[in-house]
Amino acid sequence: MTLVNPRSWILDAKKEGFAIGGFNANNFEQLQAIVRAAELENAPVIVQISHRALLYLGNGNEITGLQYFADMAKRAADNADAPIALHLDHGTELEATQAIALGFSSVMFDGEKHSFEENIAISKKIADLAHKMDVCMEAEIGAVPKPDGAALNEADLVLTDPDDALEFVQKTGVDMLAIALGSVHGMQTKENDLDLVRLEEIRSKVDLPLVLHGSSGVTNQAILAAIKMGLSKINIATQLNKAFTLGVRKALEEKNTLVDPRKYLGQGIDAQIEVVRERIRFLGSSGKA
């Protein structure tokens, strides 16, 4: 199959009360793990790559990173026995425009560094371009912090204002909206709650599929409640990194003479497949391909 625009999956998920996983990959092995899990679960999946992963893959050049990942993901989708979407996660304007040209089937513009008005203007421009090319478009209102290992600065947590969300959606025409309800990127333990009262208020004003970032740190109970209320794309990154790394670490610890990357990375892939499958079942998207 070729790469698929995930818009109709997400609209179906919203209607039926389940969610589609947006699974982050940093390298070829993590991409393979996500695709294999999708095949085993007969599930549609969104494979996504973030700005920082692009810099990693492109050795400091995000456009090179986009080219590598577009090629890898297209080949993976062609060979896969499950529908695969390729999404740019937290892209800049330049990255989103390039990703659309390179065949990504979905893009997110992260307007966090811009004013509300600039975020609207750039998001609208990218949404118009995306729709011309049959690409899905996600934007964000509010801020889900990215502490990247440092202590959380509470000032970085800006919960989404329901009126801003309505104005943003009306003025931009985006397909899905990422909102901030109290989750944080990069958390290794699942302890955060979500502001479901705020979600209810946003939902009463905005009838668009909503996206949760930072789900690895949120309790399963809160995620399930939010899915029932219309969060239809759930991003999952840290949980996958953790599983992959624990698999590799176990392989290296079990045999300290191991030098063949295929052997220890292979155990990382196997460990990540299990977590992606578990999350697909948890979100309710198993069997929905």
Alpha helices per DSSP H over 133-229: 162-172, 196-205, 220-228
Per the document, the length of the chain is 289
Residue found by looking up tokens 């949404």 in the block: 127
Let me know: does 161 contact 137? Beta carbons within 8 Å.
no
Span 192-231, contacts to Zn ion by CB under 5 A? 213
Indicate whether 74 belongs to the interface with Zn ion (CB under 5 A): no
For residue 89, indicate whether it is catalytic.
yes
Residue 70 Cα to chain centre, angstroms:
16
Sequence-distant (6+) residues with CB within 8 A of 94 are 62, 63
Q: How many residues bind to Zn ion according to rule CB under 5 A?
A: 1
Let me know: does 232 contact 19? Beta carbons within 8 Å.
yes
Which one from 71, 78, 89, 164 is the annotated catalytic residue? 89
Of 7 and 213, which has the nearer Cβ to Zn ion?
213
Q: How far is the CB of 63 from Zn ion (least distance, A)?
A: 21
Alpha-carbon distances of 228 from 13, 157, 223, 233, rounded to whole Å: 10, 24, 9, 12
Helix (H) and strand (E) counts in the chain: 11, 8
Structure tokens of 37? 């899990």
Structure tokens of 200? 């209810």
* Residue 118, CA atoms < 13 Å, CB-side half-sphere: 8
Residue with the CB atom nearest Zn ion in the bound state: 213
Q: How far is the CB of 193 from Zn ion (least distance, A)?
A: 18
Of 189 and 256, which has the nearer Cβ to Zn ion?
189
Residue found by looking up tokens 């690409």 in the block: 135
Of 82 and 194, which has the nearer Cβ to Zn ion?
194
Of 90 and 288, which has the nearer Cβ to Zn ion?
90
Of 24 and 286, which has the nearer Cβ to Zn ion?
24
Structure tokens of 164? 């801003």
SS3 263: helix
| Amino acid type, 220 | N
Of 80 and 223, which has the nearer Cβ to Zn ion?
223
Strands 136-141 and 176-179: parallel
Q: Which residues here bind Zn ion, judged by CB under 5 A?
A: 213
| Active-site annotation, residues | 89
